[in-house]
Amino acid sequence: MTAETTSGSSPLGAWTARLAELAPAVRVTERPFLTQLTLRVRDAQAQAAIGPALGVELPSTPCSFTRGTGPHGELEVLWLGPDEYLVLARPGVQQSLEDAIRAALGDAAGAVVDVSAQRTTLALSGPRVRDVLAHGCAIDLHPSAAPTGTCVQTLLAQAGIVLLVSDAGRDEFTLLVRSSFASYLAAWLIDASVEYRMVPA
Amino acid sequence: MTANFRLPVGGRVNRDEALRFSLDGRPMLGYRGDTLASALLANGVHQVATSIKYGRPRGIMAAGVEDASALVQIEEPFPEPMMSATTVELYDGLIARGLPGQGRLADRPDPARYDAKHVHCDVVVVGAGPAGLVAALTSARSGARVVLVDDQNQAGGALLGSDEYFDDLGSPAAWVHEVLAELRATPGVLVLERTTAFGAYDDGFLLALQRRTDHLGAAAPKDVARQRIWRIRAKQTVIATGAHERPVVFADNDRPGIMLAGAARTYLHRYGVLPGRRIVVFTTNDSAYTAAIELAETGVDVPMLLDARAVPPEGLVAECAARGIEVRAGHAVTGTEGREHITDVHIAPLAGTGHPDTIMCDTLLVSGGWNPVVHLFSQLRGALRYAPELGAFVPGEELPDVQVVGSAAGALDLASCVRQGGEAGRAASEAAGFTRPAPVPLPTSDARVAEAAAMVLWQVPEGAEPTADTRFVDLQRDATVSDVLRATGAGLRSLEHIKRYTTIGTAHDQGKTSGMIAAGIVAEALGVKIAEQRPTTFRPPYTSVPFAALAGRDRGELHDPVRITAMHSWHVAQGALFEDVGQWKRPWYYPRPGEDMADAVLRECRAARESVALMDGSTLGKIDVQGQDSGEFLDMLYTNMMSNLKVGRIRYGVMCGVDGMVIDDGTVIRLAEDRFLVTTTTGNAAKILEWMEEWLQTEWPHLRVFLTSVTEHWATVPLVGPRSRDVLASLAPELDVSNEAFGFMSWRDTVLDVTGGVAARVCRISFSGELAYEINVNAWHGRALWEALMAAGEPYGITPYGTETMHVLRAEKGYPIIGQDTDGTVTPQDLGMSWAVSKKKPDFIGKRSFARSENNRPDRKQLVGLLPANPATVLPEGAQIIESAHLPEPPVRMLGHVTSSYASAALDRGFALAVVRSGRDRIGETLYVPVADDVVPVTVTDSVLFDKEGTRRDG
CATH number at A18 reads 3.30.1360.120
Q: What is the CA radius of gyration of chain B?
A: 38
Going by the DSSP 8-state scheme, the letter that residue B418 receives in this structure is H
**B713, A180: Cβ pair inside 8 Å?**
no
Residues in chain A predicted with pLDDT less than 70, given as ranges, are: 1-6, 198-201
Output the pLDDT for position B354: 78
Substitution target from B713, B762, B763 for chain A, most A beta carbons within 10 A: B713
Q: Are residues A150 and A138 in the same domain?
A: yes
Cis peptide before A82 (omega within 30 of 0): no
Closest Cα of chain B to A83: distance in Å? 10
Q: How far are the Cα atoms of B128, B379, B396, B420, B429 from residue B424, in angstroms, in the given order?
A: 14, 20, 17, 6, 8
CA atoms within 13 A of residue B252's CA, in its CB half-sphere: 19
Beta strand A27-30 pairing with B909-917: unpaired
Domain of A108: which CATH number?
3.30.70.1520
Choose one of A114, A144, A165: the last residue of a domain. Answer: A114
CA atoms within 13 A of residue B938's CA, in its CB half-sphere: 40
Domain count, chain A: 2
pLDDT in tens, B124-141: 999 999 999 999 999 999
Q: Using a CB–CB cutoff of 8 Å, tell me whether A103 touches chain B.
A: no
Q: Using a CB–CB cutoff of 8 Å, tell me whether A155 touches chain B.
A: no
Q: Are residues A24 and A47 in the same domain?
A: no
Choose one of A81, A114, A147: the last residue of a domain. Answer: A114
B391 Rama sector, left if φ>0, alpha if ψ -120 to 50, beta otherwise:
left
- A chain contacts of residue B713, beta-carbon cutoff 8 Å: 114-118
A27 in a structural domain: yes
- Chain A's closest residue to B672, CA to CA, is A1
Output the pLDDT for position B376: 98
Output the pLDDT for position A200: 47
Strand blocks (E) in A82-192 = 84-89, 110-114, 119-125, 151-156, 159-167, 172-178
Largest CA distance in chain B: 117
Q: Are residues A105 and A41 in the same domain?
A: yes
Angle at B604 between CA B602 and CA B605, to 5 degrees: 65
Residues contacting B259, CB < 8 A, separation 6+: B59, B60, B61, B62, B275, B363, B364, B365, B366
Angle at B74 between CA B68 and CA B76, to 5 degrees: 165
**B626, A40: Cβ pair inside 8 Å?**
yes
CA atoms within 13 A of residue B35's CA, in its CB half-sphere: 27
Residues in chain B predicted with pLDDT less than 50, given as ranges, are: 1-2
Q: How far are the Cα atoms of A74, A92, A101, B184, B574 from residue A53, in angstroms, in the given order?
A: 13, 17, 7, 52, 48
A199 in a structural domain: no
Is residue B250 within 8 A of residue B409, CB to CB? The reply is: no
Substitution target from B620, B712, B758, B785 for chain A, most A beta carbons within 10 A: B712
Question: Which residue segment(s) compose the domain that A72 sits in?
Answer: 35-114
Q: Using a CB–CB cutoff of 8 Å, tell me whether B167 touches chain A.
A: no
pTM assigned to the model: 0.95
Cβ count within 10 A of residue B731: 23
Residues contacting B824, CB < 8 A, separation 6+: B657, B661, B663
**B778, A1: Cβ pair inside 8 Å?**
no
Cis peptide before B388 (omega within 30 of 0): no
Residue B103 identity (one-letter amino acid) = G
Q: Are residues A149 and A162 in the same domain?
A: yes
A51 in a structural domain: yes
Q: How far apart (Å, rounded) are the C-alpha atoms in residues B442 and B440? A: 6
Beta strand B189-192 pairing with B146-149: parallel
Q: How far are the Cα atoms of B221, B369, B384, B386 from residue B532, in angstroms, in the given order?
A: 53, 21, 11, 9
Closest by Cβ to B626, choosing from A111, A118, A188: A111
Run of H or E residues at A44: helix A44-54
C-alpha torsion sign, points A109, A114, A120, A125: positive
pLDDT in tens, B295-331: 999 999 999 999 999 999 999 999 999 999 999 999 9
Q: Using a CB–CB cutoff of 8 Å, tell me whether B692 touches chain A.
A: no
Residues contacting B332, CB < 8 A, separation 6+: B248, B250, B282, B306, B308, B347, B348, B349, B350, B457, B460
DSSP per-residue letters across B146-215: EEEE-SSSSS-GGGGG----BTTTBSHHHHHHHHHHHHHHSTTEEEESSEEEEEEEGGGEEEEEEESSGG
Q: Are residues A29 and A123 in the same domain?
A: yes
Q: How far apart (Å, rounded) are the C-alpha atoms in residues B761 and B102? A: 64
Q: Are residues A185 and A143 in the same domain?
A: yes
A54 in a structural domain: yes
Q: Are residues A153 and A92 in the same domain?
A: no
Angle between helices B597-610 and B803-812 (to 10 degrees): 60
Cβ count within 10 A of residue A90: 15
Q: Are residues A85 and A68 in the same domain?
A: yes
Q: How far apart (Å, rounded) are the C-alpha atoms in residues A126 and B264? A: 50
A201 in a structural domain: no
Q: Are residues A82 and A178 in the same domain?
A: no
DSSP per-residue letters across B41-104: HHTT--EEEE-TTT--EEE---SSTT-SS-EEEEEESS-EEEEETTTPBP-TTEEEEE-SS---
Q: How far apart (Å, rounded) are the C-alpha atoms in residues B333 and B251? A: 8
Q: How far apart (Å, rounded) are the C-alpha atoms in residues A6 and B910? A: 49
A186 in a structural domain: yes
A91 in a structural domain: yes
Closest Cα of chain B to A178: distance in Å? 7
For residue B229, report the phi and psi dihedrals to the nearest 5 degrees: -90, 120
Q: Are residues A76 and A133 in the same domain?
A: no
A103 in a structural domain: yes
Is residue A122 within 8 A of residue A63, CB to CB? The reply is: no
Run of H or E residues at B39: helix B36-42
Q: How far apart (Å, rounded) are the C-alpha atoms in residues B461 and B86? A: 30
Choose one of A67, A85, A114: the last residue of a domain. Answer: A114
Closest Cα of chain A to B54: distance in Å? 46
DSSP per-residue letters across B729-777: HHH-TT---STTTS-TTBEEEEEESSTT-EEEEEE---SSSSSEEEEEE
Q: Are residues A29 and A39 in the same domain?
A: no
Q: Are residues A123 and A96 in the same domain?
A: no
Cβ count within 10 A of residue A49: 18
